[in-house]
Amino acid sequence: MLRYFSEKKYNHLVKDYVTAKTIYNFIEEIGVGAYGVAYLLEDMNTHKKYVLKRLKTKHRHKKKIRQKFDQEISILNEIELPNVPKLVSKGEISGIPFYIMDYIEGKTFEQSIFQDGQIFSLKQSMQITKELLQILIEFHKKGIVHRDLRIPNILLKDNTLHIIDFGLAAYMKPELQLDKINNPKRAENHISDLYYIGHFLLFLLYSTYTPTKKKERSWQEELLLPQEVIEYIERLLIIRPAFSSAADALQSLPLREHIENTNIY
């Protein structure tokens, strides 16, 4: 209960700070996660929108979490790609670190699939995967793994993919050996991002799926996919030998002809 009031009180501090000390208007709170709170701001002059993200008050004295938050800011600053919100500024409000970044005015895949009921054909899903892999190659070239490429963190804005939430991102450890990785989601190399892409792709493909049998089956049985696509996803999910890099995964994407010969769309 006390924590609830502490966060509420801090929301007022953020609002007062933004109003008194910045060029932005405070619009609203847009999300509360495990570590942070995000607010929408608008530049008074240009009316361009921004996001202020700050650490939760309960984490203010936790050294490791503060370091992770600092790393999130550094990574965002270093990544500098058109598909990622640009870091605008950083600071502290009453001892709590925050940063301001571009607001990506788009739709997350979570919203498209679950709110709008949008469906993605196999061809569209593979095209989106291809574009995602192209972005990933750029991340990895800069030595950064995102490690949280889930449907709420991937947005479509003006037909271009954007990636947000670098809260779990890490600097790559290229020397990591595959047999030393216990949890692919947390791996500090390309394996993590490719593993997440495997799940992301399954979310896209399941958008066309209507259950025909009462009993739940495996995705390999439920989704009527061409064998090449099944094997491709199995490699992303490390059910089969993993890809050596995002570039390898891009090069190995099942050929268009194979996909177009199916009756799934």
Ligand X SMILES: Nc1ncnc2c1ncn2[C@@H]1O[C@H](COP(=O)(O)OP(=O)(O)OP(=O)(O)O)[C@@H](O)[C@H]1O
Please return the burial class of 123, using the count of CB atoms within 10 Å of its CB with bins 0-12, 13-18 and 19+: middle
Q: Is 164 a residue that touches ligand X (CB under 6 A)?
A: yes
Q: How far is the CB of 51 from ligand X (least distance, A)?
A: 4
Dist. CA 201–CA 192, nearest whole Å: 14
The residue (of 69 and 195) whose beta carbon lies closer to ligand X is: 69
Q: Is 165 a residue that touches ligand X (CB under 6 A)?
A: yes
Q: Is 98 a residue that touches ligand X (CB under 6 A)?
A: no
Q: How far is the CB of 66 from ligand X (least distance, A)?
A: 14
Task: Candidates 75-83, 95-103, 113-121, 181-189: pick the segment binding ligand X (CB under 6 A).
Answer: 95-103
Q: Is 225 a residue that touches ligand X (CB under 6 A)?
A: no
Beta carbons of 102 and 79 less than 8 angstroms apart: no
Beta carbons of 51 and 101 less than 8 angstroms apart: yes
Contacts 24+ apart (CB under 8 A), 176-182: 178/242
Chain centroid to CA 232: 21
Q: Which of residues 25-84 bind ligand X (CB under 6 A)?
A: 30-31, 33-36, 38, 51, 53
Q: Is 103 a residue that touches ligand X (CB under 6 A)?
A: yes
Dist. CA 7–CA 231, nearest whole Å: 47
Instruction: Give Cβ neighbours of residue 150 (< 8 Å, ≥ 6 apart).
Output: 110, 196, 199, 200
Task: Candidates 19-27, 97-105, 115-123, 176-184: pick the segment binding ligand X (CB under 6 A).
Answer: 97-105
* Ligand-binding site membership of 53 (annotated): yes
The residue (of 27 and 176) whose beta carbon lies closer to ligand X is: 27
Dist. CA 76–CA 223, nearest whole Å: 36
Q: How far is the CB of 34 from ligand X (least distance, A)?
A: 4
Residues at the contact surface with ligand X, assessed by CB under 6 A: 30-31, 33-36, 38, 51, 53, 85, 101-104, 108, 152, 164-165, 167
